[in-house]
Amino acid sequence: MSFVLESNADGTTIVHIGKALDFRNAADFKKLCQDQVRNGVRNFILDFSETGILDSTGLGSIFSLYRQVSPLNGQVVFASVSRPVQVVVQLTRTYKVFRQFPSVDAAHKSLA
Instruction: Tell me how far apart the alpha carbons of residues 3 and 87 are, in angstroms, rounded to a whole number.
Output: 22
Neighbours of 39 (CB within 10 A): 10
Does the footprint of another protein cover residue 39 (CB under 8 A)? no
Q: Which of residues 8-37 bind another protein (CB under 8 A)?
A: 23
3-state secondary structure of 98: coil
Residues that contact another protein, how many (by CB under 8 A): 17
Q: Quick one: which of 1, 4, 72, 91 contacts another protein (CB under 8 A)?
A: 91
Task: Count other Cβ atoms within 10 Å, centred on residue 85.
Answer: 23
Using CB under 8 A, list all residues that contact another protein. 23, 55-57, 59-60, 63-64, 66-67, 87, 91-94, 96-97
